[in-house]
Structure 1
């Protein structure tokens, strides 16, 4: 195949030729498909701006599920387990005729498979169908292993924390409609219309129980009315909606709103188009004079004068240098870092402005009490001096799940970023192991395999999430009420006023030190010129 231009005839490259063939095939096969009937995009590729912060939290380390990571050579070691899983969930006849029973039907659904992913996949129909079939069967086997733990269950899957992390990653999600298609294919004959709803309920029930097991935030499940729950887009989507409890959680139909934007969340609090958040630190705080800066400037002045003066300048400057050598920054740090837990000098990637759990209790007698439910029920009752928080069950997989939930929330259409606000809240009130101990004592955090220090490190390692919005959520309202209640305490107001005066005194100290330095320097110069030693003797 050749292409002619003004410079002559140029042969078309093999990659371009492949592109033409692929596009022409897609055009012929999908020209009759109604775009309105395609499923919404639900599996997103994590942007590099986010994954670079902590790649292992977003990239599977052991199990690849779906086309994004399936062909990575370092993950091939699990292929045997995946093929063994097909035998576990299918009959011998279905396994023998697997290509006819499952693969051929998935090839017919190729446009629907591709519509679920926002990243272009350079696979032909057969390759993509095999990837989805193998990974989908393995995922169904894992779900069954979690729910039916009998003597025949492979405990290696249940006890492997890395597998738990991998199946909850956004790029590793298997869309619900593909899981349903695989289950339907493995029944050989087509499912009657009057039984399709029952199959949906069965699969939803399995995913609900898995979500309940793995979710870091405990939510309530109405087991008597599980048929009322919405059909999720995938496992991570179901967990997100159960935690946040958005209005469509119990709708009977699949939401088909198209995704209108790609993930914009960044850990540093910045976004590609981030408006200012309603809970941000004051811009004037960044302009305050830091005592460390004043102290460093004084050292620079002393070094300059010492180099310019005479031999006896160093002796004359000794009193000033002694004063300068005092660790003022360490002394002032006791107040500057705030013993009261107030982050006066927040930067863009620091925590939100709210006292820690220990400081809330120590200085304002504010308690944190638990409830089981969605994060939309978080509130602060002034009359009880109590902050109500959902129960958390934390383990070594928690951080990965939280990060991927935040990334998924930022990607979906019409998101209120409620979960990002919740993560910001927990990051703000947990600073030390003492905060974790108090939350465990009150029942907000269940006692598990992690130590208090490990839990504190998990939350402190997650930087502030961008969560700008035009409307205040219940979490933001609760934070405002907590800060207002805390700020009214006499002890808090006294220490803050003392801190403010301390900052102002640094400027005076710098001015006085400079004046004294100039006077001593002038006196030294005068005495050198007029020989003051003879006059005094």
Structure 2
């Protein structure tokens, strides 16, 4: 039977009353209502197919996961990493950093979709330790041309006391939707820890994020970073006094996003257009190949997927797969469903790939066409299982352009298939007409002989049961 209360004792109830009074007295609703929620819990409708793709297995980041018992043994490694960053900046006191974050508690809570049942100190120490750990991890991706000597010389903390943490496992964990801290807190921690001019800090942080996304993205289109930049743009428009020192320095980071101009703008949708079917019905790669469809890489991203009916060419974006790809894709689908429910373009793309990839041969054809690039750590069989294991969408995706492309492909396939069947039958009949004529002649002679025999002899008498 499910628990009927969150309380285990009377002391829990007393603590709850105190907490509610503090929230009511300290919370400025006019400000917090404008604070964009940026970290969500993944609904079970999305995570039920493969829960482990949304739950960190090694490193906990943020209050949602920080105190999970199975992840807490790695806490000391995060503390070592945090100390390494503080020592690098000659700031040896974690408590002092936490005190400088003291007035950010309400805004941290407002950034999370789920209520955070933590005391203020617990929440701030969680932010400080996890933020410093992320900075230690991200600094390895710094662009030398931008960063110079910033954060150089920090010892890599994933190798301590002979224990080497798996880098891929860390990457998978820190990109999970629930395993996050707000980006603006990461920047605030870096500003306070480094004591470097804010203009320089934001440039370094932007370089780290760009380089990390570039190195770990499973596609050549940096969708993860685009969403991060979209969140920063929203944050810049929020009128929150405590964030003003940070907000005014967001422009340079957003300026760095000019490197992402290759991303096509999202298509504006009409409310009068019909909703697309939720399930993608499309022939497999092998079936399309059998009717003459050729696959070629598109120049840009998902928005450039198209089908040339005259030439029979299906243009798809290049997909780079490795051992992290499944976790990244599933969390991107979840993030899109939570933040952009009216335009699920990435979700529709995964459904398209799920539709055209049925077997290992489909993957091989796409690899030969240059559509799929997989690392040596991922087999063809694993690539096929990756797409067939993806769950279906939980609602209409409203991606008319992509759905129109799917309709064109289906129409082309069915027309060509009918033409091929007709051509095959025609060729078979034409090439075999002499045989059919001979068989018809023998059949006619046999019937004539039988008729002659029956006119002389009593055929019914021969065949009547005795």
Could you say whether these structures have the same fold, taking a TM-score greater than 0.5 normalized by the shorter chain as the test?
A: yes
Q: Distance in 2 between matches of 1:494 and 1:87?
A: 71
Q: 1:209 to 1:83 in 2, by over 3 A?
A: same
How much has 1:125 moved relative to structure 2? 0.6
- 1:446 pairs, out of 363, 373, 387, with 373
Q: Distance in 1 between matches of 2:47 and 2:235?
A: 33
- 2:181 pairs, out of 174, 177, 180, with 174
Contact 2:176 2:331 in 1 (8 A): yes
How much has 1:32 moved relative to structure 2? 8.0
Question: Mean Cα displacement is larger for which, 164-173 or 408-417?
Answer: 408-417
Contact 1:215 1:239 in 2 (8 A): no
How much has 1:170 moved relative to structure 2? 0.3
Contact 1:65 1:174 in 2 (8 A): yes
Q: 1:133 to 1:239 in 2, by over 3 A?
A: same
Q: 1:372 to 1:178 in 2, by over 3 A?
A: farther
Report whether the alignment pairs 1:185 with 2:192.
Answer: yes
Report whether the alignment pairs 1:485 with 2:412.
Answer: yes
Summarize the alignment of residues 522-537 of structure 1 with structure 2, pairs less than 5 Å apart. none
- Name the SS for the 2:172 alignment partner: helix
Q: Deviations over 1:39-64 (max 9, x none)?
A: x1011111233333211101111000
- Corresponding residue number in structure 1 for 2:251: none
Q: Distance in 2 between matches of 1:175 and 1:461?
A: 30
- 1:353 pairs, out of 272, 281, 287, with 281
- 2:277 pairs, out of 271, 279, 282, with 279
- Corresponding residue number in structure 1 for 2:318: 391
Q: 1:254 to 1:357 in 2, by over 3 A?
A: farther
- Corresponding residue number in structure 2 for 1:457: 385
Q: 1:418 to 1:255 in 2, by over 3 A?
A: farther
Q: Distance in 2 between matches of 1:250 and 1:25?
A: 29
Q: 1:254 to 1:377 in 2, by over 3 A?
A: farther
- 2:11 pairs, out of 7, 11, 14, with 14
Q: Distance in 2 between matches of 1:250 and 1:112?
A: 15
Summarize the alignment of residues 196-211 of structure 1 with structure 2, pairs less than 5 Å apart. 196=199, 198-211=200-213
Summarize the alignment of residues 136-535 of structure 1 with structure 2, pairs less than 5 Å apart. 136-147=131-142, 153=156, 159-188=166-195, 191=197, 195-196=198-199, 198-219=200-221, 237-238=224-225, 240=227, 254=236, 278-279=276-277, 352-363=280-291, 365-413=292-340, 415-449=342-376, 450-469=378-397, 471-491=398-418, 494=421
Q: Distance in 1 between matches of 2:113 and 2:29?
A: 21
How much has 1:14 moved relative to structure 2? 2.4
Give the number of equivalent residue pairs: 371
Report whether the alignment pairs 1:28 with 2:15.
Answer: no
Q: Distance in 1 between matches of 2:305 and 2:395?
A: 17
Q: 1:20 to 1:415 in 2, by over 3 A?
A: same
Q: 1:206 to 1:49 in 2, by over 3 A?
A: same
Q: Distance in 1 between matches of 2:276 and 2:395?
A: 9
- Corresponding residue number in structure 2 for 1:114: 109
How much has 1:138 moved relative to structure 2? 0.7
Contact 1:352 1:464 in 2 (8 A): no
Contact 2:168 2:323 in 1 (8 A): yes
- Name the SS for the 1:416 alignment partner: coil
Q: Distance in 1 between matches of 2:347 and 2:310?
A: 28
- Name the SS for the 1:206 alignment partner: helix
Contact 2:39 2:177 in 1 (8 A): yes
How much has 1:383 moved relative to structure 2? 2.2
Q: Distance in 1 between matches of 2:420 and 2:99?
A: 71
Summarize the alignment of residues 2-81 of structure 1 with structure 2, pairs less than 5 Å apart. 13-31=10-28, 34-35=31-32, 38=35, 40-81=36-77
Q: Distance in 1 between matches of 2:356 and 2:86?
A: 49
- Name the SS for the 1:109 alignment partner: helix
Q: 1:97 to 1:249 in 2, by over 3 A?
A: closer
How much has 1:402 moved relative to structure 2? 0.6
Q: 1:93 to 1:206 in 2, by over 3 A?
A: closer
Q: Distance in 2 between matches of 1:144 and 1:154?
A: 11
- Corresponding residue number in structure 1 for 2:85: 89
Q: CA RMSD in A?
A: 3.2
How much has 1:31 moved relative to structure 2? 4.0
Q: 1:43 to 1:249 in 2, by over 3 A?
A: closer
Where in structure 2 are there 5+ consecutive unaligned residues? 1-8, 145-151, 240-273, 426-464
Where in structure 1 are there 5+ consecutive unaligned residues? 1-11, 221-235, 243-247, 258-275, 281-350, 499-535
- Name the SS for the 1:388 alignment partner: strand
Q: Deviations over 1:282-321 (max 9, x none)?
A: xxxxxxxxxxxxxxxxxxxxxxxxxxxxxxxxxxxxxxxx
Q: Distance in 2 between matches of 1:158 and 1:372?
A: 37
